[in-house]
């Protein structure tokens, strides 16, 4: 790159905000920061939070984003505690509020350890030295002990063999369980004591009374087990079982009441429910559970306690979220706070009832808010330059599906929209399908809505049937019927936008990841006449081999297909995009991490091969990201993805079409920059 071009690239990437007024660029998306975790101090005076900071490839090595620790003081001002090239996570507080606790890997650490840093200043102190690292922790109420989740150390004889090259994988047999340990913090020479408990430990929660722990366990440390078979055990600190909560199916967050009398849990009533989202209550001794809000047309994804007799929770309802509150007997259910367009993603409650939360909006990614007297106050601004960027109009719309079912979605309008003109459309399909889009910040490296709008596109995010946010019945409408009405809903949404005179029917593209990648492959094959371009990300193309190569076969069976392939080969075959490869004419860009355990990259290779073997194949390209899994994490592969996505859409929805554009990418800087 010549010096003038290099300077221009750096100016675009880091120019002062006063010069940014023409819509969002891909460079700006790549540098966007966001708050991802929040933890309020026990006395409510301070708020610790984690800010995600993407790497700057012009001056840093490739890798995932940095995660930095900041603290908001009693004066409402934020200051950095641990920043730079660091990765801090699982933040919390010591029970007396004297220090912030977190997991990280520093210095000579071989794996992540538990650290604390004094709130009044000073260096961070390592509290553990677990050979395999710490996966989770919980302090006793008096702070004298900490419960730890960690795997056992690999025996020395096994490690010597591994070092000699005997590192073979014995599939689904050589997993190592996560164990529960307790460590005394009063003795610098104390060693962790392992607590005997059956299964592999996922989370631990020390009760406020200090006499018991709620431990979430699975039969094995395999992904399928962690998705479908998490169960709660109530034990003493020495491991004696007091009781258990045998919830069916998926399990989310759990939380003790301040007096330890109750345990709230986010779970399912049926093992076939696609997503944990029912607010349950159980005794602190375990036993039966009760659904506190039966019939809720939403999904509860966060819960905490305001007092002994009152919970607060985040309920996702449609495209919005609501902070609700309720008593443990189910009475007093009302709305604590709700404001359309403010999307809550987590909550943390102090002993005085002060609530800290992470929330996004159409104008910004996740930021820290505090709620006093049911009024929210924003405390952070991670991207001050966004205030000078022209953002797209963002609108929640509803439309009828072919069978009359009402479908919701979020539409981004072109910045240059003029009444009466039709524009190209990029259809953005979420994964899952047990997920949904909320009316907050939706622009990401793989779904760059604000940039697409700046380039003259509509971008539409539909919550098709099977999505969460509308209750159990809505999520179950697609079970056992893959690629039927659920994907017809997508085309019905496109037709709705065409009928409004907004979209050019000949310039419609489709993209998405995982199940959204499946939808993109379906759009490029079964619905090929409806889509002029497709970008498939970590998607599936052959239902039969997908179930046989995925790490979640039980989850796929129990909450998606409801039948095994050998029970209905025809359903699996006809729900596979490769079955329709012969008719495909949609240009498709297929992108996949080559280390994806969820949707094996063979799914992308199979579709690529089937399409290229046709007598009259469509334009097709396959790109594999080395070492990436189910979605890209490294800055370089994210940047490459963004550029390839938009170039493919531009070429086939706005450009000359025909053969694919050159496969090489101009990244805007040279490898030796």
What integer is the mean pLDDT of 172-200?
A: 92
**Is the pLDDT reported for residue 460 higher than 80?**
yes
Q: Cα separation of 43 and 455, whole Å?
A: 48
Quote the pLDDT of residue 624. Answer: 98
**Is the pLDDT reported for residue 177 higher than 90?**
yes
3-state SS class at 590: strand
Q: DSSP of 388-457, one letter per residue?
A: GS-PPPEEEEEEE-TTS-EEEEEEEPPTT--TT--EEEEEEE-SSSS----SS----SSS-HHHHHHTT-
Q: Cα separation of 671 and 649, whole Å?
A: 26
Domains of the chain plus CATH, in order, are 390-654 (3.40.50.1820)
**Is the pLDDT reported for residue 2 higher than 80?**
no
Q: Cα separation of 563 and 570, whole Å?
A: 11
**Quick one: CA dihedral 262, 263, 265, 270, positive or negative?**
negative
SS3 content of the chain, % helix, strand, coil (to 5): 20, 35, 45
In a 10 Å sphere around its CB, with 0-12 CB exposed, 13-18 middle and 19+ buried, how is residue 581 labelled?
buried
**Is the pLDDT reported for residue 18 higher than 60?**
no
**Quick one: CA dihedral 186, 192, 198, 203, positive or negative?**
positive
Quote the pLDDT of residue 211. Answer: 95
Contact status, residue 14 vs residue 54, Cβ threshold 8 Å: no
Pairing between β-strand 34-40 and β-strand 334-337 as defined by DSSP bridges: unpaired
pTM beyond 0.85: the answer is yes
Structure tokens at 228: 């479908």
Confidence of residue 68 (pLDDT cuts 50, 70, 90): very high
**Is the pLDDT reported for residue 3 higher than 90?**
no
Confidence of residue 9 (pLDDT cuts 50, 70, 90): very low
Q: Cα separation of 524 and 288, whole Å?
A: 48
Q: Cα separation of 139 and 39, whole Å?
A: 14
Quote the pLDDT of residue 122. Answer: 86
Tokens 């859409």 appear where? 649
Among the listed residues 130, 434, 138, the one whose alpha carbon sits nearest the alpha carbon of residue 268: 434
What is the per-residue burial (b if ≥16 Cβ within 10 Å, else e) of 330-357? Answer: eeeeeebbeeebbbbbbbbbbeeebbbb
What integer is the mean pLDDT of 600-608?
A: 97
Count CA atoms closer than 13 A to 213's CA, side-chain side: 29
Query: CA-CA distances (angstroms) from residue 18 to 358, 386, 417, 441?
Result: 27, 10, 24, 22
154: how many CB neighbours lie within 10 A of its CB?
14
**Is the pLDDT reported for residue 670 higher than 70?**
no
What is the per-residue burial (b if ≥16 Cβ within 10 Å, else e) of 205-242? Answer: bbbbebebbbbbbbeebbbbbbbbbbbbbbbebebeeb
Among the listed residues 123, 89, 126, the one whose alpha carbon sits nearest the alpha carbon of residue 110: 126
Quote the pLDDT of residue 19. Answer: 36
Containing H/E element for 362?
A: none
Q: Give tens-digit pLDDT for 69-97.
A: 999 999 999 999 999 999 999 999 999 99
Percent of the chain at pLDDT exceeding 70: 96
């Amino acid at each position: 790159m010549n010096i003038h071009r290099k300077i221009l690239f750096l100016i675009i990437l880091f120019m002062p905000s006063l010069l940014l007024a023409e819509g969002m660029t891909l460079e700006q998306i790549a540098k966007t920061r966001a708050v991802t975790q929040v933890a309020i101090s026990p006395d409510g005076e301070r708020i610790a939070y984690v800010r995600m900071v993407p790497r700057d490839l012009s001056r840093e090595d490739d890798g995932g984003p940095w995660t930095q620790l900041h603290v908001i003081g009693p004066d409402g001002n934020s200051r950095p505690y641990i920043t730079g090239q660091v990765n801090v996570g699982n933040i919390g507080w010591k029970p007396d509020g004297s220090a912030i606790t977190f997991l990280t890997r520093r210095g000579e650490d071989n794996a992540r350890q538990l650290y604390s840093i004094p709130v009044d200043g000073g260096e961070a102190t390592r509290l553990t030295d677990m050979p395999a690292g710490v996966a989770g922790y919980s302090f006793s109420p008096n702070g004298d002990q900490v419960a730890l989740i960690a795997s056992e150390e690999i025996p020395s004889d096994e490690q010597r063999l591994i070092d000699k090259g005997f590192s073979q994988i014995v599939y689904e047999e050589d997993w190592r369980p996560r164990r529960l340990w307790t460590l005394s913090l009063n003795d610098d020479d104390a060693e962790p004591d392992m607590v005997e408990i059956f299964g592999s430990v996922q989370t631990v929660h020390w009760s406020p009374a200090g006499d018991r722990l709620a431990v979430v366990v699975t039969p094995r440390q395999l992904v399928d087990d962690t998705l479908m078979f998490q169960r709660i055990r109530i034990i003493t600190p020495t491991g004696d079982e007091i009781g258990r909560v045998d919830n069916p199916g998926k399990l989310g967050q759990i939380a003790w009441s301040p007096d330890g009398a109750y345990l709230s849990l986010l779970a399912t009533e049926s093992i076939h429910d696609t997503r944990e989202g029912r607010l349950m209550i159980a005794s602190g001794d375990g036993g039966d559970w009760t659904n506190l809000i039966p019939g809720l047309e939403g999904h509860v994804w966060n819960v905490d306690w305001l007092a002994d007799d009152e919970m607060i929770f985040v309920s996702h309802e449609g495209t919005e979220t609501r902070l609700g509150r309720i008593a443990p007997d189910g009475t007093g259910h009302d709305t604590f706070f709700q404001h359309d367009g403010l999307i809550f993603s987590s909550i943390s409650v102090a002993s005085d009832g002060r609530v800290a939360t992470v929330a996004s909006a159409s104008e910004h990614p996740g930021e820290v808010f505090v709620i006093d007297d049911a009024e929210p106050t924003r405390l952070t601004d991670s991207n001050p330059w966004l205030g000078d960027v022209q953002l797209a109009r963002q609108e929640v719309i509803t439309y009828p599906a072919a069978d009359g079912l009402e479908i919701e979605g979020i539409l981004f309008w072109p910045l240059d929209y003029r009444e009466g003109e039709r524009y190209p459309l990029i259809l953005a399909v979420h994964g899952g399908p047990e997920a949904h889009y909320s009316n907050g910040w939706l622009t990401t490296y793989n779904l760059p809505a604000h940039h697409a709008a700046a380039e003259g596109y509509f971008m539409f995010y539909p919550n098709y049937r099977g999505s969460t946010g509308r209750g159990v019945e809505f999520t179950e409408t697609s079970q056992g019927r893959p690629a039927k009405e659920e994907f017809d809903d997508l085309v019905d949404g496109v037709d709705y936008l065409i009928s409004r005179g907004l979209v050019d029917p000949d310039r419609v593209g489709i993209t998405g990841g995982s199940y959204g990648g499946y939808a993109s492959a379906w759009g490029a094959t079964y619905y090929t006449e409806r889509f002029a371009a497709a970008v498939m990300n970590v998607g599936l193309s052959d239902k039969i081999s997908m179930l046989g190569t995925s790490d979640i076969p039980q989850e796929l069976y129990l909450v998606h297909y409801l039948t095994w392939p050998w029970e209905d080969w025809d359903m699996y075959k006809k729900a596979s995009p490769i079955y329709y490869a012969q008719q495909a004419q949609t240009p498709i860009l297929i992108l996949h991490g080559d280390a994806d355990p969820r949707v094996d990259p063979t799914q992308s290779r199979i579709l690529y091969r089937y399409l290229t073997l046709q007598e009259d194949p469509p334009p097709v390209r396959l790109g594999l990201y080395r070492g990436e899994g189910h979605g890209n994490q490294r800055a370089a592969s994210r940047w490459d993805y963004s550029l390839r996505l938009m170039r493919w859409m531009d070429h086939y929805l706005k450009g000359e079409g025909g053969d694919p554009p050159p496969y090489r990418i101009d990244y805007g800087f040279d490898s030796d920059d």
